[in-house]
A and B are shown apart, each in its own frame.
Chain A
Amino acid sequence: MRKFEYTIKDELGIHARPAGLLVKAVKALDSEVSITKGEKTVSCAKLMAVMGLGVKQGDTVTITVNGGDEAASESAVKDFLTANL
């Protein structure tokens, strides 16, 4: 299992469009990826759950990567976040 933290820079936070892109990106990976904000953890493969976290600009989220090629998945998610959020 790999974990890392990321602080959202996009002014709108994880709104519908990037949430959709995130779900798409994660579904293409062979690892289980989840996102945690505060006490709540949801799977990154679930669009409405990710949107429901209400992640805003400045929030720090924890990404957890489990199973499959963890190193590759972690760096893919990191790249995605840096490029889009």
Chain B
Amino acid sequence: MERYQGKGVYGAVAYGRISVFKRQDIQVKRERTDDPAAELVRLEAAKAIAADQLREIYEKALKEIGETNAQIFEIHMMMIEDEDYNEAIVEMINSQQVNAEYAVAVTGDNFAEMFSSMDDSYMQARSADVKDISNRIIACLAGAGTDVKSSDEKVVICVDDLAPSETVSLDKEKVLAFVTANGSSNSHTAILARNMNIPAIIGLGEEFLGRIHDGDMAVVNGFTGEFLLNPDEKTVIAVEKKRAEEQEKRELLQKLKGKENVTIDGRRINIFANIGSLENIGAVLLNDAGGIGLFRSEFIYLESSDYPTEEEQFRIYKRVLESMAGKKVIIRTLDIGADKQCSYFGLKKEDNPALGLRAIRLCLSRPEIFETQLRALYRASLYGNLGIMFPMITSVSEVEEILKRCDSVKAELSACGIEYSDNVELGIMIETPAAAIISDLLAPLVDFFSIGTNDLIQYTLACDRQNPDVEQFCSTHHEAVLRLIEMSAENAHKYGSWIGICGELAADTSLTETFLRMGIDELSVSPSFVLKVRDAVRNTNLSGGKT
């Protein structure tokens, strides 16, 4: 069994036989022609066929993935008719007396290059569209199709990268999953896969292509991005179990969707979701979460090769706020350190990054990074119900400093005539013992607390959670941790703040009753756990003694 890691773009699991997607690979050679006029006739004929194919794909896409997503193929049809593109091809055939294939290939590359050199990631991704149409015309010139070979059973399609038109052209009845070596989550392919509900992994790296063969078996885990080649029997059984669990979850979903998070005796609680990228918003809505309790903003920095601009961040925050349509969205400011960092930050290597310059410490020592993020957040605040949360707090002075910076960012925006919402809630993570112990001093300063149980456990019990040798000393239900949570909850309520839990412990249903008794107001969990926790809440009865 071999393991490869990519990025899951649609959460589902599949197990099946591999089919390697082969294009009829057309080698384009430069050939001289004595009859450019004949080449032009061939070109026109090929374009007409290409246009017909695209019209068919567009119709198919319209039915399968809806008008918004199908529109890209209308764009492809228009690109084929684009005057500049066509003039360049015709000019090349005439002046250089070359074959049509070569002229299309070179022109396609030139236009693709123009897009990929633009300073906008969206436009850069459009170079794939130009290549897609150029390859289509070349295939039509050669009289070849690009469709996948037919097979009788459902297969796992493996390919370097799928052009959007290829993705739609696949016969869905025959596709179990698809995995690609390249591809970005911004690509149409990723978007289309999500819309077609096909388990998919992108970005597995070129190496895996050399290792697979038609007929090999594979497990595709679209949740984790894990691809297992020729899995052993034990793994296959585990996968089948996972699929059965999925089925069970779907049934739970049907039963619990739209129901309230209320205990038998009438106590209500919010159940929100934790997400780490825009792609998870679908899962948040699908699982009926009441809001987003933790939006990890790190991905914006980790997926970037330089500091993300205010504008880039603004667009992302605005989108998540709009998608949640007025439901609470709590965005956590940058939480990285020496263990999880981007090279452009130029952070020094630390012997003990867990105790180092990380999260809010990094933000306060690099105010320009922090203020850019705050400006983007406040600007986006107009588009929904925003809360901002600050990680790794240990002292009152840090919180005071943060509030000062928020005020100065707001004053700057006002001075520039830029609007923002006055209803942005500010909160802090309680994830160090220090913050929990002085929660009575911190609560009056903020609107809410959110307990980050993962770090709180690690710092309270002095246990590295990544180190399996100390696992037996790292009891997640340790009384010290529970007391710190209870203490924080009491202090939050004493000063009129609310308190949530956003660490992994929030999804531990053996503690749901304990948390409810402590007075926790919100539990924020992975989207797929929302309904499980809802189920636990609805089966809890707080009246009478502790059970």
Does B111 make an interface contact (CB < 8 A)?
yes
Q: Which residues of B contact A54 (CB under 8 A)?
A: 118-120, 123
Per-position binary interface string of chain B over residues 66-86, scored 1 when its CB falls under 8 Å from any chain A CB and 0 otherwise = 000001101100110111110
Q: Which residues of A contact B126 (CB under 8 A)?
A: 16, 51
Q: Is the CB–CB distance between A17 and B123 below 8 Å?
A: no
Q: Is the CB–CB distance between A51 and B115 below 8 Å?
A: yes
Contact residues of A between 30 and 84, Cβ < 8 Å to B: 43, 45-49, 51-52, 54, 56
Q: Which residues of A contact B85 (CB under 8 A)?
A: 48
The residue on A at minimum CB distance from B125 is A16
Does B130 make an interface contact (CB < 8 A)?
yes
- Given A48-B111, A51-B123, does the pair A16, B75 have CB atoms closer than 8 Å? yes
Select A48's contact among B72, B130, B318, beta carbons within 8 Å. Answer: B130
Contact residues of A between 1 and 30, Cβ < 8 Å to B: 11-13, 15-17, 19-20, 23-24
The residue on A at minimum CB distance from B111 is A48
Does B122 make an interface contact (CB < 8 A)?
yes
What's the Cα separation between A69 and B3 when bound, in Å? Answer: 65
Chain A interface secondary structure, helix, strand, loop or mixed?
helix
Per-position binary interface string of chain B over residues 468-493, scored 1 when its CB falls under 8 Å from any chain A CB and 0 otherwise = 00000000000000000000000000
Q: Is the CB–CB distance between A11 and B71 below 8 Å?
A: no
What's the Cα separation between A51 and B78 when bound, in Å? Answer: 12
What's the Cα separation between A16 and B543 when bound, in Å? Answer: 59
Chain B interface secondary structure, helix, strand, loop or mixed?
helix
User: Closest CB-CB distance, B368 to chain A, in whole Å?
Assistant: 22
User: Closest CB-CB distance, A34 to chain B, in whole Å?
Assistant: 13
Q: Which residues of A contact B81 (CB under 8 A)?
A: 47
Q: Is the CB–CB distance between A48 and B82 below 8 Å?
A: yes
Does B132 make an interface contact (CB < 8 A)?
no
User: Closest CB-CB distance, A40 to chain B, in whole Å?
Assistant: 12
User: Closest CB-CB distance, A60 to chain B, in whole Å?
Assistant: 16
Select B71's contact among A12, A20, A49, beta carbons within 8 Å. Answer: A20
Q: Which residues of B contact A17 (CB under 8 A)?
A: 71-72, 75
Q: Is the CB–CB distance between A46 and B82 below 8 Å?
A: yes
Q: Is the CB–CB distance between A46 and B71 below 8 Å?
A: no
Does B315 make an interface contact (CB < 8 A)?
yes
- Given A47-B78, A51-B115, A56-B120, does the pair A16, B129 have CB atoms closer than 8 Å? yes
Q: Is the CB–CB distance between B84 and A48 below 8 Å?
A: yes
